[in-house]
């Protein structure tokens, strides 16, 4: 579905990611782990087509003769969830949701939306301006957007940031719904619960030998 070939990320004289290659199959989930500044967010932006690597390329699709360096050119629905949710603060949650889905030419059933808002504990916030939401509530709204968008590939940067225990449970519930629909995931996270949910782990930056030894051999081989 997506593969990175010899990706390097450099800021000035500092190389944060060097010669990284890996591939992700349809329906798989990969956790990016590592210390702050190791390149997790930068890599997600490159995979989303929002930035370019210093070296290397990202290929989308399974046809090697017709791969593209942009997910949109491959008709691949790619959703990037930033660590800092971006909404129109003076618009309601429902208005933001409608705008969000219109960008992907998606529609939804209002009853299903109400069910999701209820599970997220946001029933009373559906018609309230987003500026009235807490950080955790905004994070839940992005997850609702994600499950209704139903992308081919979900790129999530710290999806549990700001969430309490119930919020993390809701996050995993959304991820499981997406997984049932064969959505692929690449998730940058420091949350052990989120990392353990993923089928594979890719460490970036410097790690202790104990952490590196816990990584599947098929991924360790590319480091």
Gap between the Cα atoms of 36 and 40, Å rounded: 8
Give the whole-number percent of the chain exceeding pLDDT 70: 86
Continuous segment of H or E residues that includes residue 9: strand 2-11
Report whether 95 contacts 88 (CB < 8 A): yes
Task: Tell me the pLDDT tens digit for each residue of 40-53.
Answer: 999 999 999 999 99
- What is the dihedral angle through the alpha carbons of 69, 74, 76, 78, rounded to the nearest 10 degrees? 30
| CB contact set of 111 (below 8 Å; sequence gap of 6+) | none
To which H or E segment does residue 194 belong? helix 192-197
Q: Strand, coil or helix: what is 172?
A: helix
Strand arrangement of the beta sheet that strand 14-24 belongs to: 14-24, 2-11, 55-60
pLDDT tens readout for residues 61-84: 754 444 455 554 445 788 999 988
Evaluate if residue 211 carries a pLDDT over 80: no
Whether the pLDDT of residue 152 is over 70: the answer is: yes
pTM of the predicted model as reported, rounded to 2 decimal places: 0.85
């Amino acid at each position: 579905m997506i593969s990175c070939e010899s990706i390097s990320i450099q800021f000035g004289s500092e190389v944060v990611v060097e010669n990284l290659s890996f591939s992700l199959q349809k329906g798989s989930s990969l956790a990016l782990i590592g210390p702050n500044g190791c390149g997790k967010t930068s890599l997600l932006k490159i995979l989303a087509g929002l930035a370019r690597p210093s070296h290397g390329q990202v290929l989308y699709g399974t046809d090697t003769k017709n791969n593209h360096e942009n997910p949109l050119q491959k008709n691949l629905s790619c959703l990037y969830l930033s660590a800092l949710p971006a909404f129109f603060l003076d618009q309601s949650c429902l208005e933001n949701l409608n705008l969000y889905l219109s960008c992907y030419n998606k529609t939804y059933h209002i009853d299903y939306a109400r069910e999701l808002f209820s599970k997220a504990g946001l029933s009373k916030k559906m018609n309230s301006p987003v500026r009235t939401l807490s950080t955790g509530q905004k994070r839940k709204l992005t997850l609702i957007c994600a499950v209704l968008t139903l992308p081919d590939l979900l790129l999530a940067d710290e999806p549990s940031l700001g969430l309490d225990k119930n919020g993390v449970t809701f996050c995993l519930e959304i991820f499981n719904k997406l997984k049932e629909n064969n959505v692929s995931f690449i998730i940058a996270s420091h949350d052990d619960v989120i990392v353990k949910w993923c089928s594979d782990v890719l460490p970036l930056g410097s790690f202790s030998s104990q952490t590196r030894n816990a990584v599947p051999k098929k991924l360790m081989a590319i480091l």
